[in-house]
Amino acid sequence: MTEEKMRYSDADLAEFKEIIINKMEKAKVDLELIKSAYMNDLNNGTDDTSPTFKAFEEGSETMSKEANSQLAIRQEKFLRDLKNALFRVENKTYGVCKVTGKLISKERLRVVPHATMSIEAKNLQR
């Protein structure tokens, strides 16, 4: 007797694929904005070359660049997770909890489309 693995229908997978693609497009735009903020791409001035004695402002600017750098790293991870989710959609394994093997609720997947664990499994980790 063979046990068929539970999975979402092709129609459900198509819906999730659309959600994932939309999130990826928005995340890419956000990543470019974040990167341009810490790389000074939009500033052609001489602020970074002229001698100044504004240590507090420079320190604040450095902290801001570091914070944006961390945001960029986090955004890149989010994009990677979305790409992996898209791969799971194509393999028709999307929405299956990696811990319990049960389907992750549609509501959770609509909010967190890159989720790999159900709420039940997440609660077991605590």
DSSP the chain: -PPPPP---HHHHHHHHHHHHHHHHHHHHHHHHHHHHHHTTT--SSTTTS----HHHHHHHHHHHHHHHHHHHHHHHHHHHHHHHHHHHHHT-TTB-TTT-SBPPHHHHHHSTT--S-HHHHHHH-
What pLDDT was estimated at residue 58?
A: 57
What pLDDT was estimated at residue 11?
A: 96
What pLDDT was estimated at residue 93?
A: 95
Using a cut of 0.95, tell me whether the model's pTM lies above it: no
In the chain (126 residues long), the average pLDDT of successive 10-residue segments reads 68 97 96 82 54 56 77 95 97 95 95 95 84
What pLDDT was estimated at residue 79?
A: 97
What pLDDT was estimated at residue 69?
A: 85
What pLDDT was estimated at residue 54?
A: 55
Residue in the block written with tokens 């991870």: 77
What pLDDT was estimated at residue 61?
A: 62
